[in-house]
Structure 1
Amino acid sequence: MTRTPGLKPVSTDQSDDILALVISSLEDDKAEDIVAIDLAGKSSMADHMVICSGRSTRQVAAISEKLIDRLKSDLGRLAKVEGKDQGDWVLIDTGDVVVHVFRPEVREFYQLEKMWMTPGAQA
Structure 2
Amino acid sequence: MADDPKEAGAPAVATVEELHRSVLQSLDDDQAVEVVSIPLAGKSSIADHMVIASGRSTRQVASMATKLADRLKKEFGKNVRVEGLPAADWVLIDADDVIVHLFRPEVRTFYNLERMWAFGDEPVKQAAGASPA
Fold-level similarity (TM above 0.5): yes
Aligned counterparts, 1:44-83, within 5 A: 44-83=45-84
Superposed CA RMSD in Å reads: 1.4
Structure with more helix by fraction: 1
Counterpart residue number, 1:101? 102
- Counting matched residue pairs gives 112
* Higher alpha-carbon Rg: 2
Distance 1:103 1:78, change over 3 A: same
Counterpart CA distance in 2 for 1:17 and 1:37 is 16
Q: What does 1:32-51 correspond to in 2, within 5 Å?
A: 32-51=33-52
Tell me the distance in 2 between the aligned counterparts of 1:101 and 1:44.
21
What is the match of residue 86 of structure 1? 87
- Check the 8 A contact 2:36/2:124 in 1, yes or no: no
Alpha-carbon separation, structure 1, partners of 2:81 and 2:21 = 18
Structure (1 or 2) with the greater strand fraction: 1
Query: How far is 1:88 from its partner?
Result: 0.1
Structure 1 residue identity aligned to 2:87: Q
The residue type equivalent to 1:116 in the other structure is W
In structure 2, the residue corresponding to 1:108 is in which secondary structure? helix
**In 2, Cα distance between the equivalents of 1:112 and 1:122?**
11
Poorly superposed stretches of 4+, deviation over 3 Å? none
Instruction: Say if 1:113 and 1:63 are closer, same or farther in 2 by CA, change over 3 A.
Output: same
Which segments of 5 or more consecutive residues in structure 1 lack a partner in the other structure? Answer: 1-10
